[in-house]
Structure 1
Amino acid sequence: MKLEKNNIIVERTYKQVYRCEEGIAKVFDKKKYTKADVLNEALNQARIEETGLDVAPLKEVSEVDGKWALLIEEKKGKTLAEMIEVDPKNLAKYMSDFVDLQLEIHSKKAPLLNKLKDKLSRQINSLKDLDATARYELLTRLESMPKHDKVCHGDFNPSNVIVAKNGKMSVVDWAHATQGNASADAAMTYLLFALKDQSAADIYLDTFCKKSDTAKQYVQRWLPIVAAAQLTKDNEFEKDFLMKWIDVMDYQ
């Protein structure tokens, strides 16, 4: 697997995504990502493939220049985020298709995936920006929420949806995949929209709730919990916004 700097698609401090002859390579810095982290993402990818969803299959786990790497087959097309950016007047149509795709994901089961509730609990317990009382309130709320076992993407947003020339959509980046409550997954998607565009977030939530026949208030009850989970990513630009959502009294 030959990787060249001019073929980088995404670059983060501890992770790079390359386009190469064999497909798409995700390369992880060992200072941030352990072997277990990388193997867990590979396992997530393999388990999602087994659900029958149209996803790019995992081809290889290897080391490249002393870093862990995943090689995944490339899905050709544009991201839905790119399409919305150049054609914003059709946002409602794109959002409808986007939610249909998310509901297809939620219709699947993958019993060996990690449980969403366990992951959220670990994330909340790890937060140093919240005092013990706030963590207790969040964990109490989390424990009270219904336990489901639907496939949840965990980072479902338009930049992770690839649209082929024929209009067929597929989903990439299953690093955060779990099994759990679909409304928690929807709350995370709402939050990801709201971080960039509140009006788009509102359109998304209205569309999701209508198509899934879910009460908006039920999705909103998850917002403080998933905001706390997002806070663990240590993004300073998001911190103030997320802290506002973590007020657990907002949706009593």
Structure 2
Amino acid sequence: MARELISKNATKSVYRDGDKAVKVFCKGFPKAEVLNEALISARVEAIGGINIPSIQAVSVEEDGCWSITRDYIEGKTLTELMKEKPDKRDEYLNQMVELQLMIHSKTCPLLNKLKDKMARQISEMEELDPVNRYDLLTRLDSTPKHIKLCHGDFQPDNIIVKEDGTMYVVDWVHATQGNASADVARTYLLFCLTDQAAAEKYMDLFCEKTGTAKRYVQQWLPLVAAAQLTKKRPEEKELLQSWLNVCDYQ
């Protein structure tokens, strides 16, 4: 069976090859990043209790490009289902939050620490003036130290729903151990970029289910905005920069 292209961007192409999904990285993509992605996924997989595509191989293609082969999960993304069935959006959001809470109930001691990763990202941001950078790093350092499993890019695009309703979570390359509210703040941010109403509903659901004060989650917004800015996506820049100098939330 010939490979079928599923998705493609500037750094990688994803193909279906029978019951496998093959992510092929562009020529020159750092080997260390490929191996790190596979290692993170394998460590999360080893925890157990989370539906995640199993890694089958890390290889070099005939053209010299690196690739990662995983199980292919047949289904639709939660994004697709929300568009197809808008009347069920609240139900899907509820399921999404429950899934994220299950992930946060796990620990993975071998993963990098979220606060360390964010500190590196903020420190390397050339756009930040020294005062703003110092303020953000001080805030980050003062946040509570937690060791919960955080996906790092938890959004409907990264949830595949099988026909029987089973949900699989993909794209674990940004997974760390840290504060769950930081992970939630990032998901909220990603929602805000496309759907403000869904963002607010998502935040309310998380806070209601966990008894967390919304203000506690919101204190992470300038920090995750600064980290997201390192991706240098022009369409996100205006919103993210507007969050950097927000000190207090009501």
Fold shared, TM-score > 0.5 on shorter chain: yes
Residue in 2 that maps onto 1:48: 44
State yes or no: 1:133 paired with 2:112. Answer: no
Residue in 2 that maps onto 1:8: 5
Deviation at 1:120, TM superposition (A): 0.3
State yes or no: 1:161 paired with 2:162. Answer: no
Identity %: 54
Residue in 2 that maps onto 1:228: 226
What is the TM-score with the length of structure 2 in the denominator? 0.96
State yes or no: 1:23 paired with 2:27. Answer: no
What is the CA–CA distance in structure 2 between the aligned matches of 1:133 and 1:66, rounded to whole Å? 44
Q: Deviations over 1:168-209 (max 9, x none)?
A: 111001010000000000000000000001011000000111
Which segment drifts farther, 215-224 or 19-28?
A: 19-28
What is the CA–CA distance in structure 2 between the aligned matches of 1:145 and 1:203, rounded to whole Å? 25
Residue in 1 that maps onto 2:31: 35
Contact 1:106 1:182 in 2 (8 A): yes
Q: Deviations over 1:134-161 (max 9, x none)?
A: 1111100000000100000000000100
1:89-238 residue pairs with structure 2 within 5 A? 89-238=87-236
What is the CA–CA distance in structure 2 between the aligned matches of 1:57 and 1:169, rounded to whole Å? 14
The CA RMSD over aligned residues, in Å, is: 1.4
Amino acid at match of 2:30: T
Amino acid at match of 2:59: S
Deviation at 1:21, TM superposition (A): 2.3
Amino acid at match of 2:22: A
Amino acid at match of 1:138: L
Q: Which of these residues, 53, 56, 59, is aligned with residue 56 of structure 2? A: 59
Amino acid at match of 1:62: S
Task: Indicate how the Cα distance of structure 1 residues 246 and 30 shifts in structure 2: closer, same or farther if over 3 A, else same.
Answer: farther
What is the CA–CA distance in structure 2 between the aligned matches of 1:191 and 1:126, rounded to whole Å? 21
Amino acid at match of 1:58: I
Q: Secondary structure at the match of 1:50?
A: helix
Deviation at 1:248, TM superposition (A): 4.0
Q: Secondary structure at the match of 2:146?
A: coil
Q: Secondary structure at the match of 2:119?
A: helix
Q: Deviations over 1:76-131 (max 9, x none)?
A: 11111100011112111110000000000000010000110111001101111111
Which segment drifts farther, 188-197 or 123-132?
A: 123-132
Contact 1:10 1:16 in 2 (8 A): yes
Task: Indicate how the Cα distance of structure 1 residues 111 and 19 shifts in structure 2: closer, same or farther if over 3 A, else same.
Answer: same
Deviation at 1:74, TM superposition (A): 0.9
Deviation at 1:251, TM superposition (A): 3.6
Listed as ranges, the gaps of 5+ residues in structure 1 are none
Q: Secondary structure at the match of 2:128?
A: coil
Listed as ranges, the gaps of 5+ residues in structure 2 are none
